[in-house]
Amino acid sequence: MQLRQPAASAPEPPKLRLVRPSAKRARGVPVVFVQLAMIFAVLAAMPLVKPVDNDFWWHLRTGDLILHGGIPRTDPFSWSKAGQPWVAHEWLSEAIIYVVQTLFGYAGNVALFSAVLVSAMVIMFRLGRAAGAGTKPLVALTLLSALVLGLFVTPRPQLFTFLLFAVFVSLIAGEEESPSRRVWLLPPLMALWANLHLGFTYGLAVVGCWLAARIYERLRGHDVDVRTPALVLLACAGAASLNPHGPALLWFPLRYVFNNSTTASYVAEWHRPGIGNPFHTAIFVSAALLVAALLSRTRPRPFLLLVTLLFVVLSMQALRNAAFAALLLTPVVGGTMARRWRVARAGADSALRMSPVTAVALPMLTVALVIPVVANISGVVGVISPPQAGYPQAAVAYVRAHDAGRRLLNEYGVGGYEIAQLYPGTKVFIDGRSEFYGDAFLRDYLTLTNARPGWRTLLAKYDPQVILLPPKTPLVERLRSDAGWRVAFTSADAVVLEQLAPAASAR
């Protein structure tokens, strides 16, 4: 009698496992470590030759206020919103930025935030290795990830969110394969995250994806634990309330959802990635690879699948979300490739090694070749002090010397810089805190500076005494010949106009 063979079923994805090196070590440094070091070294050095993010300046000044007077509760920086309630939701990051700047200069902040970003990439690389992926595909995916993350690498609180996002994904992915108590590290990490950056909401989303994945598996008849992710999510929500603003901070991000239409159209990082922009090509390639991995027969388990789907969608909605999709490349695409092709598995790793001297020299040589080229293109170099290239230094110096204390109408994109240079003597009209000013105020700013219909009414309403804007700004061109204003200073990048009479008389 011939026994009937059971029907073949789809192979289960291999369990996460760290690939251990053999006890008998070969001499030299594995070539993969050198390749990664070259990628990370260039990425870490990039902020030294990139223009300083405008928000860095007001983060630095806020850290100064926090260390010397406590967390501000009302706006200290603008005259247009003076005294109005302000939620300094990144207070801990700002305090860190100020302390590091004071002790180690701008290079210290570059080193700190570069290390934070590289750590996030290393965590995700290890997660890809744990899924059985070989170093060849993982190094290629890490390079692609670095091309995306290079758009964001600069001293700013958002980089703490990238690191904690990687930690959350890694801990939950490990819990999916081998349950342990480590997942209970998430609530205390959430308490830290909520005081570093508003991106803690992405951490709640990751835990929410975990719970949703478990519910999905339970509905399919699998005996899985739903209680633990539900409790961890509740604990994380409670931990996020442990901040100077309390539970109200949990609802604060809704400002970006319901009061952000003008900001989204004006601020570059809220724009969708541009298909014709060569700097965004890596974003679309990353999204395409992630989608291909999700559609594959060897796609990841439900948790990673849901997280990846969510952040691919978000990355196409706003440029600032592309970094999360890039971080998922190594564990998701790398793991999928390993389950599908033998050549992409850890067993196919290269045995090539290099001498320690060569291993150290190659990353240094790569930085020495790449960074000067970038510096020559950008015209930016900063080590001790944040580089001021791209900012209207001479015009700001003129205002500081001649118009201290007067109401300044300034450009949105340099408001943070002007806070750092002019506060407390002169306050700004607007700066990069878009969620604080709101869409209605931003619309007024755009109507006024672009001299759109109604601009004279707004000029009379706000009544600025000094204007510092780029020369080609429509408002500047209109007021050059206005009897109520005079051109006090001009340079290639800025014009300073001073009011001679009340704005109403200029009609």
In DSSP notation, 134-149 reads -HHHHHHHHHHHHHHH
Coil vs helix vs strand at 379: coil
* 155 lies in the same domain as 237: yes
**Is 369 part of any domain?**
no
Displacement of CA 35 from its chain's centroid (Å): 25
As a whole number of angstroms, the distance between CA 457 and CA 507 comes to: 9
* 414 lies in the same domain as 348: no
**Is 45 part of any domain?**
yes
Instruction: Please state at what angle helix 434-449 crosses helix 455-462, rounded to 10 degrees.
Output: 130
**Is 477 part of any domain?**
yes
As a whole number of angstroms, the distance between CA 219 and CA 153 comes to: 42
* 231 lies in the same domain as 316: yes
* 205 lies in the same domain as 96: yes
Most confident stretch, 357-366, 367-376, 462-471: 462-471
Confidence (pLDDT) at 95: 98
Average pLDDT score, the chain? 90
Mean pLDDT, residues 139-144? 96
Confidence (pLDDT) at 379: 66
Q: Which of 309, 331, 356 is where one domain is finished? A: 356
DSSP 272: P
**Is 221 part of any domain?**
yes
* 337 lies in the same domain as 441: no
Q: Which two tokens stand for residue 227?
A: 């209680």
Mean pLDDT, residues 50-67? 94
Q: Which of 356, 385, 410 is where one domain is finished? A: 356
Confidence (pLDDT) at 503: 43
pLDDT at 17 > cutoff 50: no
**Is 376 part of any domain?**
no
**Is 4 part of any domain?**
no
Mean pLDDT, residues 481-505? 86
Most confident stretch, 36-45, 160-169, 346-355: 160-169
pLDDT band at residue 456 under the 50/70/90 scheme: very high
As a whole number of angstroms, the distance between CA 364 and CA 382 comes to: 19
* 144 lies in the same domain as 48: yes
Confidence (pLDDT) at 25: 54
Coil vs helix vs strand at 195: helix
| Percent residues over pLDDT 90 in the chain | 74
Q: If DSSP states are collapsed to H, E and C, what string results for 419-468? A: HHHHCCCCCECCCCCHHHHHHHHHHHHHHHHCCCCCHHHHHHHHCCCEEE
Structural domains of the chain, count: 2
Q: Distance between the two ends of the chain, CA-based, in angstroms?
A: 104
Label residue 146 exposed, middle or buried (CB < 10 Å: 0-12, 13-18, 19+).
Answer: buried
Q: How much of the chain is helix, strand and coil, in % rounded to 5? A: 65, 5, 30
Most confident stretch, 3-12, 40-49, 248-257: 40-49
Domain carrying residue 493? 393-506
* 346 lies in the same domain as 463: no
**Is 8 part of any domain?**
no
As a whole number of angstroms, the distance between CA 55 and CA 62 comes to: 11
pLDDT band at residue 505 under the 50/70/90 scheme: very low
As a whole number of angstroms, the distance between CA 480 and CA 470 comes to: 13
As a whole number of angstroms, the distance between CA 272 and CA 314 comes to: 9
Confidence (pLDDT) at 12: 52
**Is 182 part of any domain?**
yes
* 45 lies in the same domain as 135: yes
* 278 lies in the same domain as 152: yes
pLDDT band at residue 259 under the 50/70/90 scheme: low
Question: Between β-strands 466-469 and 408-410, what pairing exists: parallel, antiparallel or unpaired?
Answer: parallel
Q: 299-355 pLDDT, tens per residue?
A: 999 999 999 999 999 999 999 999 999 999 999 999 999 999 998 888 888 888 989
As a whole number of angstroms, the distance between CA 488 and CA 507 comes to: 21
Q: Which of 339, 356, 373 is where one domain is finished? A: 356
Sequence letter at residue 426: T
* 76 lies in the same domain as 192: yes
* 223 lies in the same domain as 117: yes
* 408 lies in the same domain as 268: no
Q: 427-441 pLDDT, tens per residue?
A: 999 999 988 998 999
